[in-house]
């Protein structure tokens, strides 16, 4: 059952639509003009809104634009009379989800509503997933160490630009978090953030993964496929573990960065791409270049702004804050109360070597929550955590 708002100055239309929706077991509220409808939409929580275009006071386009300006993401279905389709198109450009023409058709109403509520359910699910992701790392950079503050300063300067960034650091230090933070603070934040782990893709498949392929390009290419560059159009492409990319793919990557065009595997058509590229590696690329495993020209294309993420041992003063950050999320996931960590426990954790960095710390927090009950002290840390 969905909660629906009807905004229309014609009482008969409102009642007819209400009868249809209530028959389908939906909860319905009404507003007799745009001003009242906007107020109701801002004050109430609705899964979908049906809104007429032509009304006294605020018309439907003004309502849609006002909701968009206020950040209300409830899908709005515009209702328009015959000959007013151009107004409906204008409303769609202003942020409406769909439009239907009067006189209302029962099937068209129900299809539009189903599509709108499915979209709203997906949006809410996405919000929940992003919140969960935030608890596991997300785009939050937790800590107050001088090293982390320096990184925040660089991000603040580089994020609004389209400059390429090369993020270096050991595994588990949070290189992806830095990349996501740059994207979240950029003008591309509403567009996709697409990640490619270059180390996880076989050398013979990396080009297809990045640039896509045409049908018949190779034995298993049964249909055309867009690559990660095209999927990230208008947004950010994050190339994790770039140091593991095969040399043939490096050559194509260089062309894509220089000319902002790609070619799918098996194709000869140039495809323009508007993508910001961020890269990360745990390798010493100077050594990789000397050994002939990484192109020096590609390195200089990527290394416009270098950011080095220190190991957790190098910013051990951030450990207590990270423990507190992970603790709530871990306890929620496990469905148990969050235990209290004593000062001695946090001090002991701060002295650990953390060879697995932040990733290892989160695993340790989860281990201690499961094994130690409602309190974690230094003895628990010594018992369950390697501190040497």
DSSP structure class, residue 213:
B
pLDDT number for residue 148? 94
For the chain, strand residue ranges (E) read 3-7, 27-31, 48-52, 76-80, 98-101, 165-168, 193-197, 236-240, 261-262, 271-272, 276-281, 305-308, 340-341, 375-376
Q: Say if residues 302 and 280 touch (Cβ distance below 8 Å).
A: no
pLDDT number for residue 131? 46
Using the predicted structure, report yes or no on whether residue 129 has a pLDDT greater than 50: no
pLDDT number for residue 139? 56
Burial class (CB in 10 A: 0-12, 13-18, 19+), 64: buried
Using the predicted structure, report yes or no on whether residue 140 has a pLDDT greater than 60: yes
Give the CB-side neighbour count of residue 252, counting CA atoms within 13 A. 17
Q: What are the boundaries of each domain within the chain? A: 3-133, 149-310, 313-384
Lowest mean pLDDT among 79-93, 119-133, 166-180: 119-133
Lowest mean pLDDT among 54-63, 134-143, 170-179: 134-143
pLDDT number for residue 220? 62
pLDDT number for residue 388? 59
Q: Under CATH, to which class is 3-133 assigned?
A: alpha beta
pLDDT number for residue 127? 52
What is the share, in percent, of the chain residues with pLDDT greater than 70? 93
pLDDT number for residue 137? 39
Query: What mean pLDDT, rounded, does the chain reach?
Result: 88
Using the predicted structure, report yes or no on whether residue 30 has a pLDDT greater than 90: yes
Using the predicted structure, report yes or no on whether residue 259 has a pLDDT greater than 60: yes
Using the predicted structure, report yes or no on whether residue 385 has a pLDDT greater than 80: yes
Q: What is the CATH number of domain 149-310?
A: 3.40.50.300
What does the pLDDT average to over 42-70? 89
At 199-215, the pLDDT tens digits run 888 877 888 889 988 88
What does the pLDDT average to over 311-320? 94
Of 90-99, 220-229, 268-277, which one has max mean pLDDT?
268-277
Name the pairing type of β-strands 276-281 and 271-272. unpaired
At 328-348, the pLDDT tens digits run 888 888 888 899 999 999 999
What does the pLDDT average to over 353-359? 92
pLDDT number for residue 82? 62
d(CA 188, CA 159): 9
Task: Indicate if 313-384 has the same CATH topology as 149-310.
Answer: no
pLDDT number for residue 83? 59
Using the predicted structure, report yes or no on whether residue 153 has a pLDDT greater than 90: yes
What does the pLDDT average to over 95-102? 86
pTM score: 0.64
Residues with Cβ within 8 Å of 230's Cβ and at least 6 positions away in sequence, in order, are 212, 262, 271, 273
d(CA 145, CA 148): 5
Q: What is the CATH number of domain 313-384?
A: 1.10.8.60
pLDDT number for residue 307? 97
Greater confidence, 295 or 80?
Answer: 295
């Amino acid at each position: 059952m969905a909660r629906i708002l009807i905004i229309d100055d014609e009482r008969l239309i409102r009642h007819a639509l209400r009868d249809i929706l209530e028959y389908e077991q939906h909860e319905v509220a009404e507003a007799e003009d745009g001003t009242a409808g906007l107020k109701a939409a801002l004050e109430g929580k609705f899964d979908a809104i049906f809104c007429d275009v032509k009304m006294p006071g605020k018309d439907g386009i003004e309502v849609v634009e006002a909701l968009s300006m206020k950040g209300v993401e409830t899908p709005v279905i515009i209702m328009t009379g015959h000959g007013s389709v151009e107004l409906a198109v204008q409303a769609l450009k202003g942020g409406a989800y769909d439009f239907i023409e009067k006189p209302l058709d029962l099937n068209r109403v129900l299809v539009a509503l189903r599509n709108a509520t499915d979209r709203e359910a997906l949006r809410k699910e996405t919000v929940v997933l992003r919140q969960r992701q935030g608890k596991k790392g997300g785009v939050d950079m937790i800590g107050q160490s001088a090293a982390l503050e320096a990184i925040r300063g660089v991000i603040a300067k580089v994020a609004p630009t389209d400059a390429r960034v090369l993020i270096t650091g050991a595994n588990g230090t949070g290189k992806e978090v830095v990349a996501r933070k740059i994207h979240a603070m950029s003008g591309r934040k509403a567009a996709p953030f697409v990640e490619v782990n270059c180390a996880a893709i076989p050398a013979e498949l990396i080009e297809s993964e990045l640039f896509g392929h045409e049908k018949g390009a190779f034995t298993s290419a049964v249909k055309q496929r867009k690559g990660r560059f095209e999927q990230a159009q208008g947004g950010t492409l994050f190339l994790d573990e770039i140091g593991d990319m095969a040399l043939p793919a490096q050559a194509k990557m260089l062309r894509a960065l220089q000319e902002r065009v790609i070619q799918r595997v098996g194709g000869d058509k140039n495809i323009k791409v508007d993508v910001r590229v961020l890269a990360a590696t745990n390798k010493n690329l100077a050594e990789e270049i000397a050994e002939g495993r990484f192109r020096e020209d590609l390195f200089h294309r990527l290394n416009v702004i270098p950011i080095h993420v220190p190991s957790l041992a190098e910013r051990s003063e951030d450990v207590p804050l990270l423990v507190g950050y992970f603790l709530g999320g871990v306890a929620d996931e496990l469905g148990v109360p969050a235990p209290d960590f004593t000062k001695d426990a946090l001090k002991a954790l701060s002295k650990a070597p953390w060879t697995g960095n932040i990733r290892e710390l989160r695993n340790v927090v989860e281990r201690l929550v499961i094994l130690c009950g409602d309190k974690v002290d230094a003895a628990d840390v010594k018992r369950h955590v390697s501190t040497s």
